[in-house]
Amino acid sequence: MSRIILGIDPGFAILGWGIIESKDGSRNIENVQWGAILTKSGEPIEERILKVYQELKTIIDLYKPNEIVMEKVFFNNNAKTIIGVAQIQGIVFLLSAIMNLPIFQYTPLQAKSALTGYGVANKQQVQNMLKLVLKLEDFPRPDDAADAVALAFCHLQTKKYL
């Protein structure tokens, strides 16, 4: 049975997403697609949230993932960032519930460890491993999309042992 995983790197200005597929439970993992949902800081908040909701729902309808994986976000002292990302996370949780899709969360450290074997790997190391493991011609862009693909890969690697 094929498993299609939607990875999400939640962000208010840029939401990175990536779809990967594992066929027949094998180690044969294929990249399907990646991208980013962009919103403009000058737009009203409700329009930005609606845009993320609509575009993410379209992605789910198009690729029909079995599971959603979202980055578990930690915050420093930027309250503005906390609120925006929390609002986007709420959209992802809402879509997960509406579409009856299980959702899982992993920290960046977990995603980097699953992909590179090193929890504090830099962006270049993560991108190099994504390119190698998924047999890509180029790196997922923007970086938020690469992070989303790494999260999806982490889930496939971790879920085998749950």
Residue 22: enclosing H or E segment and its boundaries? strand 14-22
Distance CA 124, CA 49 (A): 31
Per-residue pLDDT tens digits for 26-67:
567 888 899 999 999 999 999 999 999 999 999 999 999 999
Residue 147 designated active-site: no
The reported pTM is: 0.91
Q: What is the pLDDT of residue 135?
A: 86
- Residue among 21, 67, 71, 147 flagged as catalytic: 71
Contacts of 152 (CB under 8 A, 6+ apart): 5, 6, 7, 18, 19, 20, 69
Residue 9 designated active-site: yes
Distance CA 98, CA 84 (A): 21
Q: Which residues pair with 4 in a beta bridge?
A: 21
